[in-house]
A = this chain, B = another copy of it.
Amino acid sequence: MKKLIIVFAALVPIFAMADHHKESTAAKTEAAAPYRHVVCFKFKDDAKPEQVKKIEAAFVALKKEIKTITNLEWGTNVSPENHAQGFTHCFIVSFKDRAGLGVYLPHKAHKAFVELLLPSLDKVFVIDFVAK
């Protein structure tokens, strides 16, 4: 019996490790979501900075509202090259697959975001790809 307890005590951390491994594998798979939706904005010259901030926050908030988004990251242009055509904002929205975008585009939270965006928007650039 004592031996059994010893064996069990030694196994507990092994089970814990296996669980941890499962978790980090899931996180890795999510991070490597293969459908990338790249969206860039150029705002109107008279778009107010507080309105732009509101739009940034609203885009980020979509991650919580639309379940098929596996990752969303963004930033403002810092390229030292001069090939951004005046676009200042870039968002990369990731989905597990194309079906994820299919849920996102017509989603009411996305539509509400577009309503918020349009009055301040000068140009939009969108390119999607399945990551190789």
Contact = CB atoms under 8 A, between A and B. Distances in A.
A119 interface: no
Size category, A interface:
35 or more
Contacts of A17: 13, 16-17, 20
A78 B128 contact: yes
A90 B129 CA distance: 7
Nearest to A5: B6
Contacts of A9: 6, 10
Task: Tell me what chain A mostly uses at the interface: helix, strand, loop, or mixed.
Answer: mixed
Contact of A38 (B14, B76, B90): B90
> How many copies make up the complex?
2
A26 to B, nearest CB: 11
Contact of A128 (B6, B12, B31, B79): B79
Interface in A61-87: 73-81, 83-85, 87
A79 B126 contact: yes
Interface string A1-37: 0000010011111101100110010011001100011
A63 B130 CA distance: 18
A76 B132 CA distance: 10
